[in-house]
Structure 1
Amino acid sequence: MTRPVFRFGPAILFCPADRPDRYAKALERADAVILDLEDAVAPERKQAARDALVANPIDPERVIVRLNPASTPDRALDVAALAASPYRTAMLAKCEGTVDVVGLDDVEVIPLCETARGVLAADALADLPNVSALMWGAEDLVASLGGSSSRRADGTYRDAARVARAQVLFAAAAHGTAAIDAVHLDLDDEPGLRAETEDAAALGFAATACVHPAQVPVVRSAYLPSAEQLESARAVVAAAEGMSGVFAFRGRMVDGPVLRQAEQVIRRSGGIESI
């Protein structure tokens, strides 16, 4: 399988798979939807969720299906439901290594690294040919560490979570795949969501997962560069035309990495299709 190109984002919205009445609404609000067969669905509703997934198709180009962990008996049933549906992109909950991807060769896969083992396996997972992105998750990760909170009192991530976030981003970038940032669970903390998403965009994440439709516009706007950032980036790229090597511009040294960063800002605005 040729490595798939990540096409989702920047705002990807979770939707419980046992709520087909919400499928279309979620897709209207977000750039893509994760139909969730795992945590959002109670154990007694798992089969109903799989049945709904098959019986209520929406645009497969904008849908990711989150499967239950490979260690559970639900995984095989989830894979069968996925095969009976029009969807061919699977997010693997609590993915802990390449063995968890066995049997999904014809499916675009997004491993969710949300345990200690999963984070340590991120590099190997990102190297698989059918992986288009990695995502990380803070809450299950901290639980796997024996902890009780991923965030400090001010809402920022504790150091272990920040390390995991960076490690997943590094692994994705090293293998030419995308990285998806974790959800922000505090629905009333719009400033925190915005700051976290702006940080994700600046670092190179391709998308951020959302747990509520109200988070979608915040995430979308945070991935767009500000007018000042865009003007500065365009000016740097324009100044570099005809130049070779390092040069000074507006009191700042500009070299290859700075130029590439400016190009990324323009790309995020939709101004560069390919570089």
Structure 2
Amino acid sequence: MTFELGPALLFCPADRPERFRGALEKADAVILDLEDAVLADAKATARGNLIDADLDPDRVVVRVNPPGSDAFASDLATLSQTDFRTVMVAKTESPESLAAFDERFSLIALCETARGVHAADRIAAHPQIVAMMWGAEDLVASLGGTSSRLATGGYRDIARYARSRVLLEAGAHGKGAIDAVHIDIDDLDGLVTEAEDAAASGFAGTACIHPSQVSAIREAYAPTEAALRWARSVLTAAESERGVFRFEGRMIDEPVLRHARSVLARAR
């Protein structure tokens, strides 16, 4: 199982069915949310909306409530009545907590608590996991903190550590990694900066909470024309070279060529 969605994954509350199709049309994939975006007294209605939804299941992710919660069993029962088979598991804290999912399901682990980030290596190794995502606000709340960001807008060190750990563990096990949402909807400049860093660092995509963020994420993940020209040129030059060589004043070896291949892969 591989993760091929992205780069812009748009959350949509499952209790707002009138938004489903529009969200899917605007983004690369839609995450129908049964968890935090839906109040407790609206979750039953949201599950009914999921059953009735007429959407391409290959481009839909369903975020379920945390394993062990009262709502989790009902979410699983609902999924069995749909064609949706890619599931984001909120507050994943151990691979054992994923045992309720049979082999039909591809799982995205959302590591957003101290326990979840601590167990990211074991979670990423689970055979049904296709991608890992991290979350800043729940993580800080699980530690007793009050804010994931500094006054300047950047992440605090603990959030940066969680982001890096989830990315590294996902990569170590050949799984995709999804960057966290940027909750300041009006801060498109900050979103672009973080999405550009995510793309350059190796994330497969970035989750978002508003349609206005989709185009900014797509643009950030798309290679520039200059990057594409360089990638094509250096790979062409490598065809006539052996081992390490010099290109445009830079030493080129296999890791750099892999960077070039990644640039072309993002363009596709």
TM-score of the two chains, using structure 1 as the length reference:
0.96
Which residue does 1:82 correspond to in 2? 79
Which residue does 1:15 correspond to in 2? 12
SS of aligned partner of 1:195: helix
CA-CA distance at 1:19 after TM superposition: 0.8
- For 1:114 and 1:56, locate their aligned partners in 2 and report how far apart those are by CA, in whole Å: 28
CA contact under 8 A between 1:136 and 1:182: conserved in structure 2? Answer: yes
Which residue does 1:188 correspond to in 2? 186
- For 1:99 and 1:37, locate their aligned partners in 2 and report how far apart those are by CA, in whole Å: 21
Counterpart check, 1:265 vs 2:263: yes
CA-CA distance at 1:71 after TM superposition: 2.5
The aligned amino acid for 1:175 is: H
CA contact under 8 A between 1:38 and 1:68: conserved in structure 2? Answer: yes
SS of aligned partner of 2:211: coil
Which of 220, 227, 230 in structure 1 is aligned with 2:228? 230
Which of 151, 154, 158 in structure 1 is aligned with 2:152? 154
Counterpart check, 1:216 vs 2:200: no
CA-CA distance at 1:86 after TM superposition: 1.1
Runs (5+) with no aligned partner, structure 1: 271-275
The aligned amino acid for 1:81 is: T
CA-CA distance at 1:230 after TM superposition: 1.3
The aligned amino acid for 1:77 is: S
Which residue does 1:94 correspond to in 2? 91
Runs (5+) with no aligned partner, structure 2: none
Which residue does 2:118 correspond to in 1? 120
- For 2:236 and 2:143, locate their aligned partners in 1 and report how far apart those are by CA, in whole Å: 49
Counterpart check, 1:142 vs 2:140: yes
- For 2:4 and 2:248, locate their aligned partners in 1 and report how far apart those are by CA, in whole Å: 36
Which residue does 2:168 correspond to in 1? 170
CA-CA distance at 1:217 after TM superposition: 0.5
Counterpart check, 1:68 vs 2:65: yes
CA-CA distance at 1:57 after TM superposition: 2.6
- For 2:67 and 2:113, locate their aligned partners in 1 and report how far apart those are by CA, in whole Å: 13
CA contact under 8 A between 1:57 and 1:86: conserved in structure 2? Answer: no
Alignment identity in percent?
56
Counterpart check, 1:34 vs 2:34: no
TM-score of the two chains, using structure 2 as the length reference:
0.98
Counterpart check, 1:54 vs 2:47: no
Counterpart check, 1:240 vs 2:246: no
SS of aligned partner of 1:244: coil
- For 1:161 and 1:71, locate their aligned partners in 2 and report how far apart those are by CA, in whole Å: 25
SS of aligned partner of 2:133: strand
The aligned amino acid for 1:43 is: A
CA contact under 8 A between 1:169 and 1:179: conserved in structure 2? Answer: yes
- For 1:96 and 1:263, locate their aligned partners in 2 and report how far apart those are by CA, in whole Å: 34
CA contact under 8 A between 1:68 and 1:74: conserved in structure 2? Answer: yes
- For 2:229 and 2:52, locate their aligned partners in 1 and report how far apart those are by CA, in whole Å: 48
Which residue does 1:273 correspond to in 2? none
